[in-house]
Amino acid sequence: MGTLSIPIPKDLKRTLSSAKCVVVITGAGISAESGVPTFRGEDGLWKNYRAEELATPWAFKKDPALVWQWYDWRRGIIGKAKPNPGHFTIAKMEKFYPEFTLITQNVDGLHRKAGSENVIEIHGNLWRVRCVEEGKTFYLNDVPLKEIPPRCSCGALVRPDVVWFGESLDPQLISKAHAALTSCDLLFVIGTSGVVQPVASFPSLAKQSGAQIIEINLDTTPISALADITLRGKSGEILPALFENMSLEAPKKC
């Protein structure tokens, strides 16, 4: 892994090695270097597709086959994608810090593939489906799908077990995320535009509880103003450079 091509703030090493309880929030940007499209920006999915026709409960009710065709296409891309050095470094951070929680908005499952264990998939998982009648969830890994729209063994339709626009997040996951955010001393916010609630408010929650914030992103976001340290560049380059070239001493237990 190369050295950082951006200036490393002087107190960064101290911040990284003194932290004990760490939370990482990720968005689509962490998977961009794995070839997974992001949502916003020049080549973002929402530039070319209308969210209201594909990612809402109303869209699914109107045309489940259309919604599933779009998800089948995304599953095809994601199925071929491999975790990148950013995902792998976050998995290593989990081993390094005594307390570690990863909150991801991504539904691609790449963090777990990279070895992360304590992952809160706050927007769900693209490989998991949910029966619209029974509510039961199960994994459906076929790419492409054998039938569109796919069905449960009970005969009812299944939907992707992801959070769509207009839907609430799982309250249990929210409270788990809140508990981690209000007790961490260091928060990384990586590859998210920071515009989708409630995750967009998570950094201020951690900040109010005394955490330092490090943002890693190609661009300035609404989170940047809150961040103590902003690192501009690709997460797949910055993260490995931070943790592999800095020979940090493992912190003691919380």
Q: Does 34 bind ligand OAD (CB under 6 A)?
A: no
123 among known catalytic residues: yes
Locate all alpha helices (DSSP H) within 19-160, ordered by sequence: 29-32, 45-48, 51-54, 57-62, 64-80, 85-96, 110-114
- Please identify the residue of the shown chain whose CB is closest to the bound ligand OAD: 29
Q: Could you tell me which residues are beta bridge partners of residue 120?
A: 103
Backbone angles phi, psi at 79, to 5 degrees: -60, -30
- Give me the least distance between CB of 246 and ligand OAD, in Å please: 19
Q: Does 219 bind ligand OAD (CB under 6 A)?
A: yes
State which of residues 34, 89, 217, 230 lies at the interface with ligand OAD (CB under 6 A).
217
State which of residues 187, 203, 234, 240 lies at the interface with ligand OAD (CB under 6 A).
234
Q: Does 32 bind ligand OAD (CB under 6 A)?
A: yes
Single-letter amino acid code for the residue at 135: G
State which of residues 16, 22, 33, 242 lies at the interface with ligand OAD (CB under 6 A).
33
- Give me the least distance between CB of 158 and ligand OAD, in Å please: 18
**Running DSSP on this structure, what letter comes out for residue 142?**
-
Q: Does 38 bind ligand OAD (CB under 6 A)?
A: yes
Binding mask 162-201 for ligand OAD (x = CB under 6 A): -x---------------------------xxx--x-----
* Cβ contact 194:203 at 8 Å: yes
Q: Does 240 bind ligand OAD (CB under 6 A)?
A: no
* Cβ contact 190:216 at 8 Å: yes
Residue 183 and residue 209: Cα distance in Å, rounded? 7
- Give me the least distance between CB of 253 and ligand OAD, in Å please: 31
Q: Does 102 bind ligand OAD (CB under 6 A)?
A: no
**Running DSSP on this structure, what letter comes out for residue 20?**
-
CA angle at 202 for the pair 117 and 254, rounded to the nearest 5°: 55
* Cβ contact 97:103 at 8 Å: no
Residue 191 and residue 1: Cα distance in Å, rounded? 19
Q: Which residues bind ligand OAD (CB under 6 A)?
A: 27-29, 32-33, 38-41, 44, 55, 105, 123, 163, 191-193, 196, 216-219, 221, 234-236
Active site residues: 123
